[in-house]
Amino acid sequence: MKITDIRCAIIGENPVVRVCTDAGLSGFGPVEYTKPYIKAHVAMLREALIGVDPTLVERAMIPLRPRGAFKPWGAAVSAIEIALWDIAGKAAGVPVHKLLGGKVRDRVRVYNGGVRSPMPGFAPEDFAKAVADMKAAPHGFSFVKQGIGFHSGMRNAVPGFHMGESRTTPFHSWIDRGLLTERGLSHMVECVKAMKAVLGDEVGLALDCGPGMTVPDAIRFARAMEPFNLVWLEDMITGDYSTHAGADLYAEVTRATSTPTHTGEQIYLRQNFSRLIETKAVRVIGPDPCDIGGLAELKWVAEYADLHGVMMAPHGIADGLLGTAALVQVCAALPDNYIAFELPAIRGAWWPEILAGVPEVKDGFIAVPDAPGLGVTFDIGKAQHYLAEADKGFFD
């Protein structure tokens, strides 16, 4: 079997990669990044794959990995890797998790991720209402995550929240950074108190905090959170679209508190996780399979983290329904340091109609399917309706 083409199309708002072969089998991979020029990045990688056996996944990936980088530049590489595993599984007639070593769990825990409640404001009562809605969601989450501080509109809604510059950019990225004021820190604590009053000990709470906090503020906030038994504090210092991991900075915070720290969604390849893991700079890492370089890359990092006592909770909010299928496969095969993965957002209520085979969340878990590949299939007739005119030949 040989690869004959690599294609990328935007289906609704979700870019999807398709790897075509001369055997009539195709593999599909989700793209975390949603800007149109992701198609050009995929096209740049095409030449290295034409004529390659797609079932030799590692061999195929060797020339591709140097063409990626920290989020979002690893998205194309990652999507192709996932699509190769999809083909390999279909060719062998087995689910991807069997090719990754086999499932060690029959269901995988998830948390809310793309299931969010609108925030009319950023007062404590607004946060309480948001987590009440997520607690009442039919998914039955055992814990939920809420953005706070620099990872929310709070930084602008609360007067005098921090001492840095307020900036606006056309990108979702590191916008503001600065020392918190006493008012800002107190407001964050009051919002957490309000959320925990709703959730109690029935549903856990994780916080997405940045990036943007300074080390002293991260320590102060983490210590203030110790009575609340949070699941973790995520991306306080670096995070979304940061170009470095910040291991030394996180290590200082982590050693100063019993509240678990978390980062990793922006990081590309295992080499860039090594210092975070080896120094135990954070208690939890959260790589995204659609940014780190794919499924095998994520599993390698999870196993290395397990050796060092670091927990694993993969990111996935922007990966769509196809990303959910991929996350289920890899998370089924992860070691016991696995906590849960972030449930991707579904951009378009029609996605379940065009992609069959993704099991639903029940009691906070997704049952692991045993269908070949990623376990999902496109209804091509219905999916064509959501393709842009330029992408109409995607499924041909």
**Local confidence band at 173 (pLDDT 50, 70, 90 cut-offs):** low
Q: Examine the domain organization and report whether 49 and 164 are in the same domain.
A: no
Percent of the chain with pLDDT over 70: 99
The phi and psi torsions of 370 (rounded to 5 degrees) equal: -115, 15
**Nearest Cα residue to 233 out of 244, 224, 241:** 224
- Domain with 286 in it: what CATH number? 3.20.20.120
152-166 confidence digits (pLDDT tens): 999 989 999 999 888
Give the pLDDT mean for 175-193: 94
For residues 113 and 80, state if they share a domain: no
263 plus 288 within the same structural domain: yes
What pLDDT does residue 332 have?
Answer: 98
Q: 42 and 160 in one domain? A: no
Residues 203-223: tens digit of each pLDDT = 999 999 999 999 999 999 999
The reply to whether 64 falls in a domain is: yes
Average pLDDT, rounded, for the chain: 95
Number of domains in the chain: 2
| Residue 396 within any structural domain of the chain | no
CATH number (domain holding residue 70): 3.30.390.10
Is there a single domain that holds both residue 272 and residue 168?
yes
Question: Among residues of the chain, what percentage have pLDDT more than 90?
Answer: 90
* Residues whose CB falls within 8 Å of the CB of residue 350, separated by 6 or more in sequence, listed in order: 12, 382, 386
Are 273 and 325 part of one and the same domain? yes
Domain assignment of residue 395, yes or no:
no
Q: How big is the chain by its Cα radius of gyration, in Å?
A: 21
370 with 383, same domain?
A: no
187 and 289 inside one domain? yes
User: pLDDT at residue 20 above 90?
Assistant: yes
* Statement to judge: residues 369 and 312 lie in one domain: yes
Residues 39 and 168 in one domain: no
> Domain residues for 67?
3-93+379-387
Q: Is the pLDDT of residue 174 over 70?
A: no
Confidence at residue 58, expressed as pLDDT on a 0 to 100 scale: 98
Residues 125, 23, single domain; the answer is no
pLDDT at residue number 327:
98
What DSSP assignment string belongs to 284-347? Answer: EE---HHHHTSHHHHHHHHHHHHHTT-EE----TTSHHHHHHHHHHHHHTS-TTB--EEPPP-S
Residues 38 and 64 in one domain: yes
Summarize pLDDT for 354-389 with one digit per residue, the tens: 999 998 999 999 999 999 999 999 999 999 999 988
pLDDT, one tens digit per residue, over 83-95 is 999 999 999 999 9
> Could you tell me the pTM of the whole model?
0.97
